[in-house]
Chains A and B, each alone.
Chain A
């Protein structure tokens, strides 16, 4: 679909906004609907749109599958790390009050970031793996 001019231009226009909107949903989740899970899915949708229009190879060149595989683990590790750091600071596991005055705020943001990274990576991984199976190029 790369040779389809209108589609290509509009996709290029749209992808930054989809990714930006994912971050809006991520950081605004404390005040409105949304959070890490939804943001991760939206972010993955932006990358998948790129893969659909410009081809799987182009997407894999932009974001290598190895990076995505690392992201799958990194998000969960970030989540666990927040818990362990709270433990080391003298609180209970995942007790954000140990982080000080605005601890709850910071803890929730960090944990949501972990969820975001894992969900986005898993969605992109699933898409890459399935599209890989029947690629024609």
Chain B
């Protein structure tokens, strides 16, 4: 048990190390690569917490697609981060906000606590029950019989899929609409690009300044 905890601690330490490195780098190409690593580590951490569906999404989106889309953006805007004046006030605001968030976690139930409200709730039990009960079950036992829970039977082994696509179908529809809107926005803003190619004078230097050969 201690050994398993140790794996989690090491993964979190690596995540923190990656995040600090990303914050300190001024070379956006390196930042893009390290954020790919960050996603990989995040997915491993979620997998360690036994949430393979979330890890799957993080893996596919974070490590696969978002690196490519960030690179596609860097092609347009160049790979040097704009130098900004760092003010102590900003640091203070971040520290206070972070402190408040950490304070908020103190009230949360312990990790894996069986008495946590999320594990005791009737809704959770219904979700878990429905995922494991076969669809035929409902036919033989009418809903008002014995268990109230049996009205929920869906008969699909993966609880996450059941909750996302069936119980929370409205929610997922909204999410699909959000993705649709994102695609629409990109098409509306950039869709006409093929008619107005960038002139050569507008091209940006995509090599980060610390990678350029000495001139």
**Which chain A residues have a beta carbon within 8 Å of chain B's beta carbons?**
25, 29-35, 37-38, 41-42, 44-45, 48, 52, 69, 72-73, 75-76, 79-80, 83, 94, 96, 101-102, 104-105, 107-108, 111-112, 114-115, 118-119, 121-123, 125-127, 129-135
Q: Could you count the A-B residue pairs with CB atoms below 8 Å apart for me: how many are there? A: 142
Contact A127 B72 (CB under 8 A): yes
Contact B64 A42 (CB under 8 A): yes
**Which chain B residues have a beta carbon within 8 Å of chain A's beta carbons?**
52-53, 55-57, 60-61, 64-65, 68-69, 72-73, 75-76, 135, 139, 154-158, 160-162, 164-166, 169-170, 172-173, 176-177, 179-180, 182-184, 186-187, 190-191, 193-194, 197-198, 203
Given contacts A34-B56, A126-B69, contact A72 B158 (CB under 8 A): no
Q: How far is the CA of A31 from the CA of B165 in the complex (A)?
A: 14
Residues of A within 8 A of B164 (CB): 35
Residues of B within 8 A of A83 (CB): 169, 173
Contact A102 B135 (CB under 8 A): yes
Q: How far is the CA of A61 from the CA of B137 in the complex (A)?
A: 50
Contact B73 A130 (CB under 8 A): yes
Q: In the complex, what's the smallest C-beta–C-beta distance from B26 to chain A, in angstroms?
A: 22
Partner of A80, one of B157, B173, B193: B173
Q: Binding site of A, secondary structure by majority: helix, strand, loop or mixed?
A: helix
Given contacts A126-B69, A129-B191, contact A35 B156 (CB under 8 A): no
Q: In the complex, what's the smallest C-beta–C-beta distance from A133 to chain B, in angstroms?
A: 5
A-B contact pairs, 8 of them (CB 8 A): A30-B158, A32-B158, A72-B184, A76-B180, A83-B173, A122-B182, A123-B65, A133-B193
